[in-house]
């Protein structure tokens, strides 16, 4: 891909206002409560959070390259068939690590369909989203995860995205997501938990393997649930989240 990244500063004072609202929501929901996570999962037998996370991460890493590629192709086809795919302008993906469901094929498909593609970058303890091209240089952040090497002036806010493809360790039938434990997505999208938020609402879409679906996860006050989860076998829509 050789298309130049588009000019991104086009929302002016409205963007600044929404940024302030989102930051206020973030501080309201994250006033020290992330000092410790206390996720739990209920699958027979009941597994503590750390054991569940370790078990599913090990199973994910054990997948062969062929199994990962087959799953990624199936997920790409499901997302490309989504009714609102044609209307989506900005899609945030992620750089797959340690056997995570790889969204690269879907991002390439979206780019060829003239969507704007972004990858997350660390901005302190939250995320921003940087424009991405497949041949663009990457740098590694403090967790050794590659992210676009672009100026912070090109970064976009979480509420600027239309679809946010999120990696996950587990998810349940209500849309509760278990991540890696850092809380970056929950901090960044905390504004979606604010009943007074009137700005743009990104659609959070978890990507994973069918074995990552569990019966139930305990949802904490700061957990931002998924709108949808896509696996190689199924499409799950969580209409009860209040995001529709």
**What is the value of pTM for the model shown?**
0.79
Pick among 3.40.50.970, 3.40.710.10, 3.30.300.90, 3.40.50.10420: CATH of 12-238? 3.40.50.10420
Q: Which tens digit of pLDDT belongs to each residue from 151-178?
A: 999 999 999 999 999 999 999 999 999 9
* Band of pLDDT at residue 52, cut at 50, 70 and 90: confident
Name which residue leads in pLDDT, 70 or 51.
70
Q: Nearest-CA neighbor of 222 among 182, 164, 169?
A: 182
What does the block give as tokens for 141? 């952040």
- pLDDT at position 18 is 57
Tell me how crowded residue 103 is: count the other CB atoms within 10 A of its CB: 28
Q: Is 107 helix (H, G, I), strand (E, B) or coil?
A: helix
- pLDDT at position 218 is 84
Q: Where are the beta strands (DSSP E) in 29-100?
A: 40-42, 47-48, 90-92
Q: Nearest-CA neighbor of 173 among 228, 136, 121, 97?
A: 228
What does the block give as tokens for 161? 């995205």
For the chain, the domains span 12-238
Q: Which tens digit of pLDDT belongs to each residue from 171-217?
A: 999 999 998 878 899 999 999 999 999 999 999 999 999 999 999 89
192: Cα separation from own chain's centroid: 14
What does the block give as tokens for 202? 């990104």
**With b meaning 16 or more CB within 10 Å and e meaning fewer, what string describes 189-206?**
bbbbbbeebebbbbbbbb
């Amino acid at each position: 891909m050789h298309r130049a990244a588009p000019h991104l500063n086009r929302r002016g004072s409205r963007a600044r206002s929404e940024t302030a609202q989102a930051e206020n929501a973030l501080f309201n929901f994250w006033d020290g409560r992330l000092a410790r996570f206390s996720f739990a999962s209920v699958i027979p037998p009941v597994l503590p959070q750390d054991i569940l996370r370790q078990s599913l991460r090990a199973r994910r890493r054990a997948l062969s390259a062929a199994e990962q590629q087959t799953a990624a192709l199936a997920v790409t086809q499901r997302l490309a068939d989504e009714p609102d795919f044609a209307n989506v302008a900005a899609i945030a993906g992620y750089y797959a690590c340690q056997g995570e469901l790889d969204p690269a094929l879907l991002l390439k498909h979206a780019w060829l369909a003239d969507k704007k593609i972004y990858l997350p970058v660390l901005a302190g303890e939250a995320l921003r989203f940087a424009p991405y091209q497949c041949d663009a240089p990457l740098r590694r952040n403090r967790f050794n995860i590659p992210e676009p090497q672009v100026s912070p002036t090109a970064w976009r806010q979480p509420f600027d995205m239309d679809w946010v493809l999120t990696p996950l360790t587990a998810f349940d039938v209500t849309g509760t997501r278990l991540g890696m434990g850092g809380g970056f997505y929950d901090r960044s999208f905390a504004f979606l938990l604010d009943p007074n938020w009137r700005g743009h609402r990104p659609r959070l879409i978890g990507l994973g393997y069918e074995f990552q679906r569990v019966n139930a996860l305990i949802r904490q006050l700061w957990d931002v649930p998924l709108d949808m989860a896509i696996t190689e076998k199924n499409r799950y829509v969580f209409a009860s989240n209040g995001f529709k």
